[in-house]
Amino acid sequence: MKEHDIMEAVNQSSCVIIHGETGCGKTTQVPQPTDTSGAEYLDFPPARGAAFELGVNLGNEVGFQVRHDKEIGENCAIKFMTDGILLREIQSDFLLKRYSVVIMDEVHERNSNTDILSAMLSCIIKLRKDLYEDQEQKVLLGEVIAPDSRICPLKVILMSATLCIDKQMSGKIFSAPHRPSDMRIESRQFPVTRHFQNRTCRLHGPCL
């Protein structure tokens, strides 16, 4: 799967499910083509890998925020954060107007925070879409909208290494017409050969 395929799916759908095997690079690679004023909620260690792959310093274009630490610059385009931090931001800005893309990684590892976030994001998608359409109608009628007041549709990407997230989340929470499109990131599999000693080794001492 190429970057173009991911971007096309994100442009055509409000929510996208991406299945990818462990180690395929989805955590650090997927946010890069979607970094147009986007946000991502994740644990912060992947932020260092994403910054390294983009060739930028952590805290500039790529930043992170956890409970007691953060590195976020003025030009930050990709922000890694925990589910608790994102819930706190929703309390002060329910529509998440600062962000155009929210990526939830490893969503099969469900907890109360991720379930609440999923329900809220499904509502925010619809509200943002309605506000965007109303805004476009006003523009067509000649009304001038200040750049700071403009709002764009919210895109949500759900990522997991398992195939059960569509049953767990999409059908119940992201229902039609916002049902997610489904994508798979293929990864190369390499053969593994096991070799065994012909002799029994003692815990301390030479082999017998």
Q: Which of 12-16, 22-26, 117-121 has the highest mean pLDDT?
A: 117-121
- pLDDT of res. 201: 65
CA 48/CA 53 separation, integer angstroms: 9
Of 124 and 41, more confident: 124
Query: For residue 9, what pLDDT is reported?
Result: 76
Helical packing angle, 112-140 and 83-92, nearest 10°: 40
**pLDDT of the residue at 24:** 66
Enter the tokens of residue 150: 């403009």
| pLDDT score of 180 | 65
Average the pLDDT over 43-60 and give the result: 67
Of 14-28, 96-110, 147-161, 171-185, which gets the smallest average pLDDT?
171-185
**Eight-class DSSP state of 164:** -
Structure-block tokens of residue 141: 């009628």
Q: How many C-beta atoms lie closer than 10 Å to residue 83's C-beta?
A: 18
pLDDT tops 80 at residue 123: yes
16-20, 39-43, 63-67, 175-179 — which is least confidently predicted? 39-43
pLDDT for 167 beyond 60:
no
pLDDT recorded at residue 73: 78
**Mean pLDDT score across all residues of the chain:** 75
pLDDT digits (tens, 9 = 90+) for 68-89: 888 887 778 888 888 888 899 9
What pLDDT shows up at residue 36? 47
H helix runs in 93-197, sequence order:
112-140, 165
User: In which band, very low, low, confident or very high, does the pLDDT at 130 lie, cut at 50, 70 and 90?
Assistant: very high
What is the pLDDT at residue 53? 67
Domains of the chain as residue ranges with CATH: 3-185 (3.40.50.300)
Using pLDDT thresholds of 50, 70 and 90, give the confidence band for residue 19.
confident
- State the pLDDT confidence band at 15, using cuts at 50, 70 and 90: confident
Distance of CA 105 to the CA centre of its chain: 5
